Structure 1
Amino acid sequence: MSLGAFGVATSGVFVALSGTSPGTATFFRCLLALPLVWPLACSERRHEGRLSRRGGTVAAGAGVLFAGDALLWTQALFEVGAGLTAVLVNAQVLLVPLLALLIDREPLSRAFLGTVPFMVAGIVLTGGVFETGVPSSAPAWGTIHAILAALCYSGFLFLLRRNGQTGRAVQSYCGVLASAAIVALLIGALWSGITVTPGWSALGWLALTAVGSQVCGWLLVALASSQLSSMTSAALLLLTPVGALALAALVLGEQPTLLQLFGCALMLVSAYAASASSSSWRWLTGSVRRLLSLS
């Protein structure tokens, strides 16, 4: 799980180094991952059976949402930075339970409801929306694009969850990649443009994104998450935004402001508390009270 989370964390830096448009980056990261996932999907089909038509339809829908997530995420990456974008997309921790409530009528926990104001405050601070002189080209638009990416990402995770009972995760993921590549090609051409020959340097960075994030990262996370408790999984997945922040600072020289870093910490702690347990929520509120009493 730790290796998978770190693999996902590298995607922001690799895409930024490629210097390609959102459409180009999304299309190639999915396209280049397909030849690596396809043999695994074929092996799964031989041993587990074929993915049902309904499962294929759900996978295609998840691919549409993944493409939307990747397109908006890449746009936000160039507006607020690779590290901060990885943190902002953690707003999906709020959105997935809301989707489950609306569609599956799953009740919301007290821990989840308690973290909402902290998460919202963290989003505003991390995006630097009300700050001047932040090291971002378009903090307001970047925050908006990152939240929209989180919305698409939430729908993507929700569909994967509904489709996860089939026991054919690799075939489903292969369908996600194929669908996402097609959608990225169509929408990317209309929105940000597609470069079919981005150059060997850019293609190399996108190939690393495909291997590190799309194949090793997400497959390892998917395989490991079913073997771990929800609290352990939630804690380990925090390595993704933390790793992205560290890599963006080391490789890209990104330097968020103190308020942005505080917002990141607030979002990450809130995300952990919302996805782990009620005891985490009690720890969060207790910590905040102690900090306020010291001020």
Structure 2
Amino acid sequence: MIAGAGCLSISAIVVKLAEVNAGTAAFLRCALALIALVPLAVRECRRHGRFEPGLVWCALVAGALLGADYVMWTASVLDVGAGIATVLINVQVVVFPLLARLFDRTPISARFALTCPVMLAGIALVGGALSHDPNAQHQVRGTLLALAAGAAYAGYLYLNRRSGQRSPQHVVTPVCLATASAAAVAGLLGWATTGVDLDVPPASWLWLAVLALISQVAAFLLMAAASPELAPNTSASLLLLQPVLAVALGVVVLAETPAPSQLVGCAVVVAAVWFAGRNPRHESNTGSG
């Protein structure tokens, strides 16, 4: 799960380097990923049998939520700024375990519940939410979009985990189906908002291919393999390492200089995730095989 978060953490940097609009990036990261995922999914189904029809619909719905997440979050960045949007989308750390609790009766540990506010506070510092973004135009709309994006992402994580539990031999297939569905939704929403431009320079195609292979294929396959083996609150907590790793990559790749408050936020998130993930013998917080 940490490796998956690491693969996701390069997304913002690669999108910047690709120099394309939000709709184009959201659509092509999924569409290009299918070039790698489809042959792997076909091979997997030949080895392990047909994917259950009920789980096919589960994966397609999960992908639709993921595609909507991509577009809504990007729009929220334009409305409220990247810092606040980064904080708000991480509402998944609360929604994902709540969905598992509501539908699967998976317990939520007291340790996790107590640590959640600390993790979100750390993310706020990492994202620079305490600083004012002069480009923020629509605070209310952006806030609602970011929260909706986080809830949609949590829905994807929950449905993908459910597929993994019911059919553990199929790891690639649900990710492939979800990515195809996400490409369709992101393409439609992207076309209706920022537009989808396929006439981009060769350098942009190269960066988009990197985005697809690392932040879509590798990231979501790693997460799909790990999620059924972890409690939902553990998965949600570990994914909070993504913005922390993004800050580190920004320093190395783009020579960015994080503010002291961002470094403090990174330390807070890492410490909180470690504390929430501990599992003393007297406390059971797994809820999964």
> What TM-score do you get using the length of structure 2 for normalisation?
0.79
- The corresponding residue for 1:104 is 104
Q: Residues 147 and 122 (structure 1 numbering): CA distance in 2 closer, same or farther, change over 3 Å? A: farther
The farther-off stretch of 221-230 and 118-127 is: 221-230
Structure 2 Cα separation of the partners of residues 93 and 30 of structure 1? 24
Q: Residues 12 and 130 (structure 1 numbering): CA distance in 2 closer, same or farther, change over 3 Å? A: closer
- Superposition deviation, residue 130 in structure 1: 4.2
- The corresponding residue for 1:6 is 6
Structure 2 Cα separation of the partners of residues 186 and 204 of structure 1? 23
Q: Residues 3 and 125 (structure 1 numbering): CA distance in 2 closer, same or farther, change over 3 Å? A: closer
> Alpha-carbon deviations, 1:185-214, whole Å to 9, x = none?
111111222112233222211111011121
- Superposition deviation, residue 272 in structure 1: 4.1
The farther-off stretch of 67-76 and 243-252 is: 67-76
> Alpha-carbon deviations, 1:122-160, whole Å to 9, x = none?
34444444434x6x8439957765544322211110011
- The corresponding residue for 1:54 is 54
Structure 2 Cα separation of the partners of residues 180 and 232 of structure 1? 25
Q: Residues 233 and 66 (structure 1 numbering): CA distance in 2 closer, same or farther, change over 3 Å? A: closer
Q: Does the 8 Å contact 1:88/1:123 carry over to 2?
A: no
The farther-off stretch of 90-99 and 139-148 is: 139-148
> What TM-score do you get using the length of structure 1 for normalisation?
0.78
Q: Does the 8 Å contact 1:10/1:213 carry over to 2?
A: yes
Q: Does the 8 Å contact 2:171/2:221 carry over to 1?
A: no
- Helix, strand or coil: the match of 2:180? helix
Instruction: Return 5+ residue gaps in structure 1 as ranges.
Output: 283-295
**Over aligned residue pairs, what C-alpha RMSD do you find?**
3.4
Q: Does the 8 Å contact 1:129/1:139 carry over to 2?
A: no
From the two aligned structures, give the one with the greater helix fraction: 1
Q: Does the 8 Å contact 2:3/2:219 carry over to 1?
A: yes
- Helix, strand or coil: the match of 2:30? helix
Partner amino acid, structure 2, of 1:260 = Q
Q: Does the 8 Å contact 2:97/2:236 carry over to 1?
A: no
Q: Residues 264 and 8 (structure 1 numbering): CA distance in 2 closer, same or farther, change over 3 Å? A: same
Percent identical? 41
1:277 maps to 2:275: no
Matches within 5 A, 1:114-193: 114-132=114-132, 137-138=135-136, 146-164=146-164, 165-166=166-167, 167-193=169-195
- The corresponding residue for 1:43 is 43
